[in-house]
Amino acid sequence: MRRQGCSPNPHSFTFLFAACTNRRSPIQGQMFHVHFIKWGFEFDIYTLTALVDMYAKMGLLPFARKLFDEMERKDVPTWNSLIAGYAKNGNVEEAFKLFSVMPSRNVISWTAMISGYSQNGKYTNALAVYKEMDKDRGVKPNEVTIASVLPACANLGALEVGREIEAYARANGYFKNMFVCNAVLEMYTKCGRIDRTMQLFHELGRRRNLCSWNTMIMGLAVHGKGDEALKLFNQMLGEGNAPDDVTFVGAILACTHGGMVAKGWELLNLMEQRFSIAPKWGGVARLRKLMKSSQITKAAGYSFIEEGGDIHKFIVEDKSHPKSNEIYGLLDLVMTRLKFDVSTIDFDFDFDSIVE
């Protein structure tokens, strides 16, 4: 372009910054940034937004923030670029600070925040933002929003919320998107509704992809249905679908739960010899040995229970719940009664009085 005597315009740099982002080339991006300033385009809001987006997506957040703060005028995409950058790089606190002071928001703003919380394991926050989004009548969740919030439902065990989201996705035609379908599959699996997972899996038919098969096989294995998991694994191969390491983890897990040692070794050999997939869990064994020798303990396990629209978190040996004494009292009573004949047990307890 320059050799032919053509001068660039702001739009030229917009495409250049996007190209640098796609190629993950920060040095070239900074070089074009210098030329962008030399040509006097540093006041074009659209190109500046593309530049903020480039730095944010490549993890160069100090550069992105400096540009953002120096911009006299910002539009919603400018805010979204920096929020998404912070969220993607794990700084969801800073992302939420920006999100909270945005003059106006669109579906991308809400989705960036939900996705950021969900991907960083802050599932309760993700669900809280989604519920707040529902109050914004000018914004409706899209396919990406749905695929981002469902993992939060899955990990919190928020089955009722997940069902509502599935109904919304179906009503709006989002079930054409396999990311949404697979997220629903995972949600039902992690919420313990493996029967519903199987129904949906069969409903998908030929649309099923590798993620769908893996979710179903792993779900059956985790729920103690080893024979069904292996049957599905064989069906997957029979239909010409290539497995990956996750598929084999699910199948071998089914063998371990079912005590099928010989079958497990057979799968391990199949994994290496036929599909040339190297086992990746050797490092896990070494890590466990290292943790033991270093006297490092695992983080305390925890679970979530949804009751009456509220989500309660329970941590192993934790007593911070406001009704902790009543809960442990109830558990002691249950354990005492379990020592007697099952036919004599009367579980007539008012659970609502504990969780309220």
> What per-residue confidence (pLDDT) applies to 134?
85
Instruction: Say how far apart CA 77 and CA 47 lie, in whole Å.
Output: 11
Of 50, 80, 55, give the one whose Cα is nearest residue 65. Answer: 55
Residue 264's alpha-carbon distances to 250, 281, 286, in angstroms, are 11, 14, 21
The strand pairing partners of 311, in sequence order, are: 306
Instruction: Say how far apart CA 289 and CA 287 lie, in whole Å.
Output: 5
Of 107, 179, 192, 207, give the one whose Cα is nearest residue 153. Answer: 192
Instruction: Say how far apart CA 322 and CA 334 lie, in whole Å.
Output: 20
Residues in the chain: 356
> What per-residue confidence (pLDDT) applies to 135?
87
Instruction: Say how far apart CA 356 and CA 346 lie, in whole Å.
Output: 22
Q: For 141-209, give the secondary structure using H, E and C.
A: CCHHHHHHHHHHHHHHCCHHHHHHHHHHHHHCCHHHCHHHHHHHHHHHHHCCCHHHHHHHHHHHHHHCC
> What per-residue confidence (pLDDT) applies to 324?
67
Task: Report yes or no: 163 and 171 within 8 Å, Cβ to Cβ.
Answer: no
pLDDT tens track, the chain, 356 positions: 555 555 566 667 777 778 888 878 778 777 777 777 777 767 778 888 988 998 899 999 999 999 999 998 999 999 999 999 999 999 999 999 999 999 999 999 999 999 999 999 999 999 999 999 988 888 999 999 999 999 999 999 999 999 999 999 999 999 999 999 999 999 999 999 999 999 999 999 999 999 999 999 999 999 999 999 999 999 999 999 999 999 998 998 888 877 787 888 888 888 888 888 876 654 334 334 444 544 444 455 555 555 556 666 666 556 666 666 666 666 666 555 544 443 443 334 333 332 33
3-state secondary structure of 302: strand
**How many C-beta neighbours within 10 Å does residue 314 have?**
14
Whether the model clears a pTM of 0.85, i.e. scores above it, the answer is no
Give Rg (Cα) of the chain: 26
Render the burial of 193-222: b for 16+ CB within 10 Å, e for the rest. Answer: bbebbbebbeebeeebeebbbbbbbbbbbb
